[in-house]
Amino acid sequence: MDNQTERLVKTIQSSPEGIAALETLESLRLCDKFTLRTTLSRLSKSGRIIRLKRGVYSENPIRDAFAAAQYTYEGYLGFSSALYLHRLITELPFTITVVTTRTSASKPLGAYELRAVAMKEKAIGFENVGTLTVSTKAKTLFDCLYLERYSIERDKLIDAYREAPLNAREMNEFNSYVRRFISSGSRNKFEEVRKKTGGRV
């Protein structure tokens, strides 16, 4: 492998989370734009790097599946991924879910599946956890109840929130999502979770 190609691979490897955008690589002027794009294409086809999406590349193997998912589908990490990142569950999910406004899609990435779930106007309620953008603890609970097929079993979800209940501010946040997005006749499961956690959510 020539020095120029090796330098490009090492540049991607040394990028935050081992992920680099084409614009960043172009700004470094490692080579001309045509050579850069040709080299990236060749490296991707050979498996030396991974093309997450158009113009975004990761080292191979990926360093952080959560970061890779967020780069692939712009949005916040939610559902079981957020439960794990908030340390509400201990089992690492191998389907990494990103909540978006409009995009619903999925793609395999090594041992993981990256998935985007479109929630339109409900794609709100997130915060930074380290370098990642993750649904808040309250919004994670709401999302998991609203679209249970992307969550864990409800009994396990309830147990997780019994162990780490919402505080008063988080409780108000959770209630605001229920009032805003759920009709009064469809709130039974939200009320059920409230009761099973001792009224703390």
Q: What is the pLDDT of residues 136-173, one digit of tens each?
A: 999 999 999 999 999 999 999 999 999 999 998 999 99
- Helix/strand number for the chain, H first, E second: 9, 9
At residue 201 the predicted structure's pLDDT band, cuts being 50, 70 and 90, is low
Task: Locate 47 and state its tokens.
Answer: 């498996």
Instruction: Enter the pTM of the model.
Output: 0.91
> Which residues lie below 8 Å from residue 183, measured CB to CB, with a gap of 6+?
none
Query: According to the CATH classification, is domain 3-59 in 3.60.70.12?
Result: no
For residue 117, the surrounding DSSP H or E stretch is strand 112-118
pLDDT in tens, 96-116: 999 999 999 999 998 999 999
Question: How many other CB atoms sit within 10 Å of the CB of residue 201?
Answer: 24
CATH 1.10.10.10 residue ranges of the chain are 3-59
